[in-house]
Chain A
Amino acid sequence: MDAGARNAALSALLLGLFAMVGTGLVALTHALTRERIAASERAVLERALHAVMPPWRHDNDLLADRIAVTDPELLGTRRPVTVYRARRGGRPVGVVLTPEAPDGYNGRIRLIVGIYADGTLAGVRVLAHQETPGLGDAIEAEKSDWILGFTGKSLGKPPLERWRVRRDGGDFDQFTGATITPRAVVKAVRNALIYFRHHREALFAAPASGEGEEEAS
């Protein structure tokens, strides 16, 4: 073996060694933090669920009692949507859906919608969006109270044809300078309610798929 080849082999060996040590350290950190990261993600999800389904109304673990459903028309996405079911003493209390509003001003708006078994909204929050800061982001609960206004509404209250923003002749406020964002959210919430009305029995009857790998957050 001439000197050049030996040099190259030594370099390759050294590089391999560095790669192994580096990967080892990353793997070690991953193993040490995995449980804590999972717990953090779970806590984030639980906080979101609590916001739209009061924890004192049910006695089951929402995260464990869930199924996945698909309805591109009413839930706004072709991907499976997670449905968490709230029960008390085994009787249905309500569901939490995670639909999307596909027609936001700047892409999809991911929502989390809590609906009681009688079809009344328990609460609505925004999980993720890319709406304009300062205009469309008023849909966030911490920016304005707008999204809280859905609580207590249902398909009969207001009547179906009033489920629009005021500019379109409905009952829901738009924001100054932003109509498209609230319009998309109102429509998505209305569609989620329609979905629930059509599938209520099936949603509560389906066997839980348990805690899978796929998180809703």
Chain B
Amino acid sequence: MSRWRDIAAEGLWRNNPGLVQLLGLCPLLAVTSSVVNGLGLGLATTATLVVSGLTVSAVRGLVRPEIRIPVFVLVIACTVTIIELLMSAWLHDLYKVLGIFIPLIVTNCAIMGRAEAFASRNPVPAAVLDGLMMGLGFTGVLVALGALRELAGHGTLLDHAELLLGPLGEGLRLEIIQGYRGFLVAVLPPGAFIGLGLLIALKNVIDTRRGRRSVAVPVHAHGHGSA
């Protein structure tokens, strides 16, 4: 059981694609002007990670080392294209908002990285869990950064939730700060860099705190933040 927990902890925290590996920064910085955009792209990326992890792991005995990279590229590109078509059909407005960043999921290094480093060396269930956890870790960063920027930029949260949830999302918009005039920098690209920097700093502070607390017990090579 500890192995499953380990995979989860890797993706969600210790080796988080957005905060530690710093992979897929282009979409991460570009779409996170609101919670809904971040969540939408995060879920699309998670779906890609799960499907590509599953496929790559399932065919790992079949694929020879010399053609493995083209096969991975093929698997990832097909997965993303299919997800893009599905989003265009069922979440058309969100698809329009996210635009070019959906097809660009193909180029997110986190996906290729997981296929090569994990899925191609592990059995299917582990690969699927790894894809899911890496995806959720990435989604978490997108949502946190989206929330930070939307709150600082517009004073709202979950604006346009109907793009993702349809009629269910109507009225989910939270006006956190009444009569807020807006803070432009947070919405513009610099806000994305500053916000991500703050999130990484926060993670490092938490890791350091935890490390210090456990130092009292056994002295182990601990808390040497890998970021």
Contact = CB atoms under 8 A, between A and B. Distances in A.
Interface in A1-29: 7, 10-11, 14-15, 18-19, 22-23, 25-26, 29
A55 to B, nearest CB: 20
Main secondary structure of the interface of A (DSSP, over half): helix
Interface residues of A, number: 24
A26 B78 contact: yes
Contact of A44 (B63, B78, B90, B96): B96
Nearest to B92: A40
Contacts of A29: 81-82, 85-86
B74 A44 contact: no
Q: Place the interface of chain B in its size category.
A: 20 to 34
A129 B203 CA distance: 37
A37 B89 CA distance: 4
B33 to A, nearest CB: 7
Interface in B79-117: 81-82, 85-86, 88-90, 92-93, 96
Contacts of B44: none
B220 interface: no
A11 B67 contact: yes
A141 to B, nearest CB: 14
A15 B59 CA distance: 12
Nearest to B154: A134
Nearest to A28: B82
Given A33-B88, A40-B88, A44-B92, A15 B71 contact: yes
A135 B90 CA distance: 32
Nearest to A23: B78
Contact of A11 (B59, B64, B78): B64
B219 interface: no
10 contacts: A7-B64, A11-B64, A18-B71, A22-B74, A29-B86, A36-B90, A43-B92, A44-B93, A133-B187, A134-B187
Interface of A: 7, 10-11, 14-15, 18-19, 22-23, 25-26, 29-30, 33, 36-37, 40-41, 43-44, 132-135
